[in-house]
Structure 1
């Protein structure tokens, strides 16, 4: 990735609101297009790349940009891996992302919309009413456990985890074996705030049983 930078080019003015609005508009236009496309396995002009590959590559690049800002050490490790594997690394990342993109794109977009929407609700001082849609966000949070540990340079614990969340309608959502010693419990809303990095778990009603469970809630995230 680093070798693609050309330091002889003029640096764009990032304070130019026109550039930012253009980026948003371009993304919105693409989002509208692919939302209407049923088959993301359609080939694109790039050899070997389907629509899913293209979208996965964009998502991968965005994730790396966020990683560079939020977790520089993890981003540095990604850079070293890219340099070691050479020009085929982007193809490998796109292929891996394309395999999961169709199944994950909708819940990921839901998670992003909910999380950034929460920021807006907080900014204007309005309560963000929880709904059962949070199950999709919570599921991503559970799936993101390995990512959470990897982002801070830790291996995912081998022991199983049990997650028990109280849904907005009072039901209980569960993941993992009932016998697991590592347990995370609390409200679904609090869990979603935690895994989207909108609240530290210490400021929520979440409880953790087991050292690994506590560490997970400390580092929990659904994105780099």
Structure 2
């Protein structure tokens, strides 16, 4: 299972690498849809997170020291770390590539089923790799949305999205809790259409709360890259409908959600 996720993580990273490698140095300074973040911020953040994940898996003591640094101002720590890593592409790209390789080596070295620390939890190598897959795709999507004419190939959905969707399903309760609401008491059923038109499903078939639609739209929702009004997702059940407004696959406080397209175009 770990080898499968790592292969998909490497493929997703390589696809994003091809996209950003084709951008000019000036385009690396272009703002993305994430407020205050340029393309360089996006790649610097991915490098920083890879580096921290490598510490968590290879040297937990150093990870805990890094974690302690975030406690002085946890709400701005991620933004500050991204800003600190911004550099010209000829510096940042090799740094990111080396960090990706180091993380994969660190994950492969963790004994089977052993968990290592992470922000607010502990994770197995498979979970850590799946999380990196989710983040790489989400931040890559910000860059692709910034340069749609140059990113048609990258923006096409792939079977790799199944990892992002899995995290989205597993974090349904977290989405509610991060918004200060109790987690659902009834199960959810999620049915998604894959790029090859096959169905990917999570949860019991008889669940009263259901979410259905294209896997791309589901992943855009749980990573907060689109407003629910702009997605072809259908929900049935009170908790399922409420979840569309709080979905959040990533750790930490609620993110700054995207406005619906109609509001952005006013």
Distance 2:223 2:70 in 1: 32
1:173 paired residue among 195, 200, 209: 200
TM-score by length of 1: 0.65
Equivalent in the alignment of 1:188: 215
Structure exhibiting the larger radius of gyration computed from Cα positions: 1
Q: Which runs of 5+ in 2 are unaligned?
A: 1-67, 73-79, 253-266
Distance 1:4 1:164 in 2: 39
Q: String of CA shifts for 1:93-152, please: whole Å, max 9, x gaps.
A: 5xx41xx23121111111111111111111002441011111111011001111111110
Distance 1:23 1:52 in 2: 30
Q: Does 1:106 align with 2:105?
A: no
Alignment of 1:72-221 (within 5 A): 93=120, 96-97=121-122, 100-126=123-149, 127=152, 128-221=155-248
Q: String of CA shifts for 1:53-108, please: whole Å, max 9, x gaps.
A: 4xx34xx1xxxxxxxxxxxxxxxxxxxxxxxxxxxxxxxx5xx41xx231211111
CA RMSD of aligned residues (A): 3.3
Paired residue secondary structure (1:131): coil
Equivalent in the alignment of 2:102: 33
Distance 1:193 1:3 in 2: 27
Distance 2:97 2:130 in 1: 17
Distance 2:163 2:138 in 1: 12
Distance 1:166 1:3 in 2: 39
Distance 1:18 1:4 in 2: 17
Paired residue secondary structure (2:129): helix
Deviation at 1:20, TM superposition (A): 3.9
Cα distance change on mapping 1:29 and 1:101 into 2, 3 Å: farther
Distance 1:20 1:143 in 2: 32
Distance 2:85 2:209 in 1: 47
Cα distance change on mapping 1:112 and 1:176 into 2, 3 Å: same
Deviation at 1:39, TM superposition (A): 2.1
Cα distance change on mapping 1:2 and 1:187 into 2, 3 Å: same
Q: Which runs of 5+ in 1 are unaligned?
A: 6-13, 42-50, 61-92
TM-score by length of 2: 0.55
